Structure formats: structure tokens, C-alpha cells
Amino acid sequence: MKRREAILAQARLAWLVARREAWDNLRDWRILVPILVLTLIFPFLMNITARVATDFVERYGAPILGTRLVPFLLMIVGFFPISFSLVIALESFAGERERLSLEPLLATPISDAALYLGKVLASLFLPLVASLLGIGVYLGSLWFSIGYVPPGVLLAQVLLLTAMEALVMVSAAVVISSHTTSVRAANLLASFVIIPVALLVQAESAVMFWGQYEALWWIAAGLLVVDVLLVRTGVRVFNREELLSGEAASQGLRGIGARFWGLCVGPVREAWQRGQGPAWRRALTALAWLYGRHLPALVRQNWLALATSLLAMAAAGVLGWTYAQGHPLPPGALQFGGLSPESLKMPVGPSLLPPLEPLPIFLHNARALILGAVGAPFSFGAAPVLLAMLPIALIGFFAGEVALAGQAPGTFLLAFVVPHGVLEVPAAWLAYAFALRVGLAVVSPGEGRGGGGLLGALADFLRVFVLVVVPLLLLAAWVEARVTPQVVLQVYGAG
């Protein structure tokens, strides 16, 4: 009961913050004038554009383009006003810091989560209202000019996508604003928010022109997941102590780099200090401690990410096998009998796979694992999971096709996959699991850790990659280039 009352009290405080911010925005003519222009004038321009474009395409016998253009312009009319939500959100904390009104706000008895959510709601209110008004004006002008009324489902999709895109921009922009020292710096970082959303709008426009409106529901579902993750991330990393001290904003790249380097080499330095005597003996002691104590401890600490990656890879294999059962290849497509050494060295596909040599294979595999780690923070861990699933799904698919062709899938796996796979698959599993932890650190950095959770996860990934993954990949690349072909020739060779 007390917890419920506390939550309601914080919700009321968040509403007070949102109402205060929204009232300030309504009194600022620099915000109102552009929004009014986009709300009242821009829809009429889009209406004229729709009529001119429709007449043009009908003149050349392509009326379908005109019918697809009107829903697209409806989405554009709704999107342009919500772009101002980014401006309002970027100004939310950075502007108050410049006006010297931030400290009194942070001194109020309100939780960090309520303050963050209040700022988000205030940044959403005016642009969303303007977007709804703009859509209404556009639909009214269409009805009076050409008698067009959009289907109810399409209108619901456009409204839902507009709200989801606004929340994506605002939730990310409020975090950016809270970690910058000025509005100018916040605006410079706005491209990291507006460019992905603009690319998403382009993808939505392609879907609309193709008439695949059902796919918009999937885009809306994906945006909903991103919204939840971004709001959760904002609530977790928002910290008023850092705002008051200016630590998050004033820490430069040099300070972040020094901190990251310390997290990376700290355990290695500790391992070196444990040794005594000559350098070679200290090195052996350090390696024994790293491989015997430190790395097993990291594995235990990240058991959930490891289990998640393992389950995802196992599910990918099952999905690949299942897909093969419903999509058999033409008869004779998988005939491995009579293979020769020359046939194994032939390139597969449009240079998608590396040459059958140790170094190209190692670089190809390492590049894929590093790509998963780079994409992890931006995809909240989805990139490493998907990249981990892809090769296993292909293996499951080809094993299923081999079974459909009347051959033994176990023999296929033992010949083509197992020799180097016993080294390569565990290396990929470890790398993608620790990359997944990097993505999860963005969403849930841990209490009081802030950006340190992300830096710590990156440092853990780097140590595991250098100490375990790279040696396994090097050995697996040599086995794949030198041993696996010989095994394949012994099993499926001509002689």
C-alpha cells in the first residue's frame, strides 16, 4: 500500500513537471510559430502536391502511384510536426542549465525517474497535438478536394507510427540533453537521433508505395520495443548527482579512454603483480591466474548472457532444419560424392566466403564477431544474437536438406562442420554472449554504474576476445583450411 502511494505521489510530481514544461513551451513564440506553420500551411501544400502528382501519373497511365502517394503524404504530414519534439527535448536540460534554472528543479523532492518521465511527456505534448491537427487538416482538405477518406486501419497505423517515432526521438534526446553542457552541443548530437528515424521513415514510405500495409504493424511493434528499451535506458542512466556536478557532461574523451583502459588492463596488471621471480615465471603465474581464476569468474558472472546465446543458437539450428523440411532443394542439388581437392577450392557465391586459407578465414570470422560487438550497443544486444543465429541456422538448413536428399546428416556434419566447429562455435558463442552483455549494459547498466556499466562490459568483451576467442579462431582457421578438406575428401572423395 505504501509503495503504491509512493508511486502515485511520484506520478503526480512527474505530471507537475510535464505541465510546467508544456506551459513554458506554449509561451515561447519561437516554438509555436513553426509548429503552427507546419500544422496549418504544410498540409495544404501536401494536398496540392497530391493533386498535381495524381494528375501527372494518371496522364501517363499509372494511377496506382497516385493512390499510393496520398497515404505516404499523410505519414509525412504527421512526421514533420513531431520533428519539433526533438528540438524541445534537446533543450529540456541543456537549456535549463544555460538559464541557470536547473539546480532548483533538481533540488525538488522528486525521483530521477519521475523527473525524466515528466520531461519526456512535456516534450511529446505539443508536437503530438500539432501532428494530430496537421493530419486532421490534411484529411479535411483531401475530402473537400478529391473526396478521399483513408481506411480506418491505415489511419490507425499512421497515428500509431507517429506516436512511436516521437517517443523514440524524445526518450533518446532527453538523455542526450542531460549529458551535454549546452544547447549547441545537444543540437550537434541530434543527428544520432534524427538520421535513424529519417531512414525508418524512408523504409515506411517504400512499404507504402509497394502497398504492403500489413508490414506497418511489424514496424510499429518494433518501434514499441525500442520505445520501452529507450525509456528504460533513460530512467536507468538518468542521475541528478551527475547533472549537478557536471561530471557526465564534462568528462572528455581522454577521461573516458583512460577509464576504459584501466578497466581493460586492471586484471592483467593484477595478474602480473601476483607473480614473483624472473619475468618468465611471473608471466606463467599471470597466465595461470587469468585462465584459472579470472576468466572462469567472468563466465560465472555472465551466465545469463551465455545461456541466452546458447539457447538462441540451438533455436536457430532447429529453425534451419524446420525450414528445410518445408523448402526442399531440387533433386541432385546436394550431391557430395566424387568431390576433388579442386572442387573444394572453388569460390562459393559472390565472394561471400573467404578463400580456403587460414588468414582469410580468421579475418572473416573475427570481423563478424567484432561487428556483433559494435552493433550491440545500438541494437540493445539484438545484433550479436542475430549474428550468432545466422550460421547455425544455415548449418541446420543444409543438414535438413541432406536428410531430405536421402543422405546421413550426421556424416555431413562430422565431415564439413565438426573438425573446425569444435573450436569455432565455442569461440563465437563466447564472443557473441559477451557482446550481448554489452548491449544489455546500455539498457540496464546496474545501480550507480551509469556509463561505467557499458565500459565494464566492453572491457570484459575485449579481454575474453583477446585471451580466448582469438586463439580459438586462429586454431579453427588453420583446421578449417588444412584438416577439414582432408576429412571431407576421405568421406566424400572420388577415390
pLDDT in tens, 85-138: 677 777 776 676 666 666 666 667 777 778 778 888 888 888 888 888 888 888
Q: Quick one: cell of 178?
A: 542531460
CB 462 within 8 Å of CB 369:
no
- For 39-53, 131-145, 277-291, 474-488, which range has the lowest pLDDT when averaged over its residues? 39-53
What are φ and ψ of residue 493, in 5° steps? Answer: -70, 165
Give the whole-number percent of the chain exceeding pLDDT 70.
83
Give the whole-number percent of the chain exceeding pLDDT 90.
21
Q: Measuring CA to CA, which residue among 75, 73, 68 is closest to residue 211?
A: 68
Q: Measuring CA to CA, which residue among 11, 157, 24, 44 is closest to residue 91?
A: 24
Mean pLDDT for the chain overall: 80
Integer CA distances (angstroms), 430 to 135, 195, 260, in order? 49, 32, 21
Integer CA distances (angstroms), 476 to 104, 306, 349, 386, 399, in order? 60, 21, 22, 22, 21
CB 39 within 8 Å of CB 134:
yes
Span 396-441, pLDDT tens digits: 999 999 998 888 899 989 989 999 999 999 999 999 999 999 888 8
CB 222 within 8 Å of CB 207:
no
User: Is residue 450 very low, low, confident or very high in pLDDT (cuts 50, 70, 90)?
Assistant: very low
The ranges assigned to domains in the chain are 2-250, 302-492
Span 164-206, pLDDT tens digits: 888 888 887 777 776 676 777 777 777 777 778 888 888 888 8
User: Is residue 448 very low, low, confident or very high in pLDDT (cuts 50, 70, 90)?
Assistant: very low
- Look at residue 455 in the predicted model and tell me its pLDDT: 83
Tell whether the model's pLDDT for residue 4 goes beyond 50. Answer: yes
CB 134 within 8 Å of CB 42:
yes
DSSP secondary structure string for all residues of 265-311: HHHHHHHHHH--SSHHHHHHHHHHHIIIIIHHHHHHHTHHHHHHHHH
